[in-house]
Amino acid sequence: MKTLVIGANGQIGRQFCEIASRAGVPIRAMIRHPDQQTWFRERGIETTIADLEGDLRHAFHGCDQAIFTAGSGPHTGPDKTLMIDLHGAIRCIDLAVELGLERFVMVSALRASDPLAAPEKMRPYMAAKFAADAYLRNAHVPHVILKPARLTDEPATRQVSTSIRSAPALDVSRGNVAHALTYLAQARTLKNREFDLLDGESTIAMALV
């Protein structure tokens, strides 16, 4: 029962790996460069080297679940958004289907369902998330789509909301996302579900039902 973490070296990815590893969740961190291995080795976390724009198949072997928390980030253009956030995600979903994974957990984005509502600069990113989510919904692999609000680096409170209406602000800490992913990694019966995620006042187990 091993979870492949795609985007493991990212800000959410590392926090998730650390929390999940401490909780005894078997994980394999997918990273891009050998020099990123040290941080994971120091924490006893298995790694595999793979790139969303290169060969990926080997990373999936022996895993029964994948979490996609990779992203091209705000410092690249729409070309990388297309290749990483959309095409990279689609390639991972295809491999999950082909290799018969039990579940694919996608870190999407709040309001990805309406890219035209986003500020103009964000629209290609939101469109990539919109299309990747749509592809996953129609793929033959059980899935969970988690849609975090704007990410912050505030300390994790482990108190969240899945409702825009009841949340105090449209933010969520990366730590709270990492804790939510750790919960989801273990809540194996949750399938074909979608959750907005914001900082709030419910425990993660109460919110993600």
Ligand X SMILES: NC(=O)c1ccc[n+]([C@@H]2O[C@H](COP(=O)([O-])OP(=O)(O)OC[C@H]3O[C@@H](n4cnc5c(N)ncnc54)[C@H](OP(=O)(O)O)[C@@H]3O)[C@@H](O)[C@H]2O)c1
Can you give the binding site for ligand X, defined by CB under 6 A?
Answer: 7, 9-13, 32, 51-53, 69-73, 84, 107, 109, 148, 150-151, 174
Q: How far is the CB of 67 from ligand X (least distance, A)?
A: 10
SS (H, E, C) 114-174: CHHHCCHHHHHHHHHHHHHHHHHHHCCCCEEEEEECEEECCCCCCEEECCCCCCCCCEEEH
Task: Give the residue from 149, 152, 133 showing the smallest Cα distance to 192.
Answer: 133
**16, 104, 125, 195: the active-site residue:** 125
Q: Which is nearer to ligand X, 34 or 189 (CB)?
A: 34
Q: Shortest Cβ distance from residue 171 to ligand X (Å)?
A: 9
- Residue 32 or 193 with smaller CB distance to ligand X: 32
Q: How far is the CB of 121 from ligand X (least distance, A)?
A: 13
Radius of gyration of the chain (CA): 16
CB closer to ligand X, 124 vs 148: 148
- Hey, how many other C-beta atoms are within 10 angstroms of the C-beta on 6? 27
Reply yes or no on whether 183 is catalytic.
Answer: no
Q: Which residues form the catalytic set?
A: 125
